[in-house]
Amino acid sequence: MSVTVSRPDRLVPMGSALIRDIPPDQLPKVVMPQCEVRPVLKGQKALVTGASSGIGRGIAAALCAAGADVMINYVGNDAAAKEAAEEATHCGCAHRGRAIVHRADVSDEAQVLEMFARIGDEFGTIDILVNNAGLQQDARVEDMTLAQWNRVIGVNLTGQFLCAREAVREFKRRGVRKEVSCAAGKILCISSVHEVIPWAGHINYAASKGGVMLMMKSIAQEVAPWRIRVNSICPGAIRTPINRAAWETPEAYAELMKLIPYKRIGEVEDIARTAVWLASDEADYIHGASLFVDGGMTLYPGFEAGG
Ligand code: NAD
């Protein structure tokens, strides 16, 4: 009787080589989505924090294009905020909403209260809060100052709490207007894959996003009976100023692709489309969820070659 012994090189059949053995130019070319903008947020009032650049700017434009009136919060650059408002309101959609700008530091309680008072004056109420403002101040743990720790926690976590608290107060006061939305209000927290992926050299940032995860879920549990929906979007690597070093050169981009099974960087529009859908009644039964929009970055890509 003959015995067949499997050799490791025979375990992989022809035509199903592992991804590490396939040169990138033999993979399918990237095709970007072309999606129709529909007025799913008509009549709604929104606040997007940190919206003069990057993801926030893209979300503000997409909410406006979907019919919402949007307050663009920013902290520093007046001209950039004005440009973001112009971009949002010149999208070419007949049903677009209007955009106003408001300067406020989301980590400062008095400024947040003032911002919500202004949104009440300008729009009458608020239906959608997008907690997007965020920053990084990176250092090794032994070199990180208390100021760096406090600033990142202050903006990324406390800032989201302050804005969420004010939004919940208004949502509860006003309740559901069924001609506008099934929900009394929607909060979208912009978190990160780093709410679950540890990140050496960025402990303040990872701690802030881990905090956002349980803050979001705890608020969601608390306010659900008032028909207030609370969810997070967790972006992977999105092409914005915050992570320029990771995509700016071909070498950096090739390194980044090792972390992304879908083999393309995320674009602001990937997050903006998700935000519109998650804020709309099409996502009415989604509550307390962390929605990863990351091209598979959280799929442990280091294991794609078998570990
Ligand atoms: P970005 O730097 O372009 O945007 C951040 C914005 O927040 C800026 O406009 C900044 O001025 C604003 N901001 C900072 N401090 C503020 C404060 N105190 N008050 C109000 N606004 C303030 O970078 P981005 O990539 O667009 O980041 C947006 C959000 O997305 C952040 O929360 C970030 O952590 C998150 N995120 C980004 C990525 C990515 O790959 N780009 C990945 C995961 C998560």
- CATH number, domain of 170, equals 3.40.50.720
DSSP-H helix ranges across 124-184: 146-153, 159-174
User: Mean pLDDT throughout 6-27?
Assistant: 63
Q: Is 31 left (phi over 0), alpha (psi -120 to 50) or beta?
A: beta
pLDDT in tens, 130-181: 999 999 999 999 999 999 999 999 999 999 999 999 999 999 999 999 999 9
Question: Does ligand 1 have an atom closer than 6 angstroms to the CB of 238?
Answer: yes
| Distance from C-alpha of 143 to C-alpha of 148, rounded to nearest angstrom | 10
Question: Tell me, what's the pLDDT at 11?
Answer: 43
Q: How far does CA 52 lie from the centroid of its chain?
A: 15
In a domain, 306, yes or no: no
Question: Could you tell me the pTM of the whole model?
Answer: 0.94
For ligand 1, atom 31, name the residue with the nearest CA: 134
CB atoms within 10 A of CB 135: 17
| Distance from C-alpha of 128 to C-alpha of 62, rounded to nearest angstrom | 13
Upper half-sphere CA count for residue 41 (Cβ side, 13 Å):
34
| Pocket residue to mutate for ligand 1, from 52, 109, 130, 135, most atoms within 8 A of Cβ | 135
In a domain, 111, yes or no: yes
In a domain, 105, yes or no: yes
In a domain, 234, yes or no: yes
Domain count of the fold of the chain = 1
Contacting residues for 284 by C-beta, under 8 A, at least 6 apart: 182, 183, 229
How is residue 298 annotated by DSSP? T
Look up the domain containing 56 and give its range.
Answer: 38-295
In a domain, 31, yes or no: no
User: What radius of gyration, in Å, describes the C-alpha atoms of the chain?
Assistant: 22
Residue 156 CA: which ligand 1 atom is closest? 32
User: Mean pLDDT throughout 42-46?
Assistant: 98
pLDDT band at 16 (very low <50, low <70, confident <90, very high): low
Q: Please, are residues 243 and 269 in contact by the beta-carbon 8 Å criterion?
A: no
pLDDT band at 10 (very low <50, low <70, confident <90, very high): very low
Q: How far does CA 59 lie from the centroid of its chain?
A: 9
Question: Does ligand 1 have an atom closer than 6 angstroms to the CB of 135?
Answer: yes
pLDDT in tens, 74-131: 999 999 999 999 999 987 788 899 999 999 999 999 999 999 999 999 999 999 999 9
Q: Which percentage of the chain shows pLDDT scores above 90? A: 87
Q: Please, are residues 160 and 212 in contact by the beta-carbon 8 Å criterion?
A: yes
Residue 205 CA: which ligand 1 atom is closest? 34
In a domain, 22, yes or no: no
State the chain's mean pLDDT as an integer. 93
pLDDT band at 284 (very low <50, low <70, confident <90, very high): very high
| Pocket residue to mutate for ligand 1, from 48, 49, 52, 53, most atoms within 8 A of Cβ | 53
pLDDT in tens, 223-265: 999 999 999 999 999 999 889 999 999 999 999 999 999 999 9
Question: Does ligand 1 have an atom closer than 6 angstroms to the CB of 132?
Answer: yes
In a domain, 121, yes or no: yes
Higher pLDDT, 20 or 202: 202
In a domain, 210, yes or no: yes
Active site residues: 205
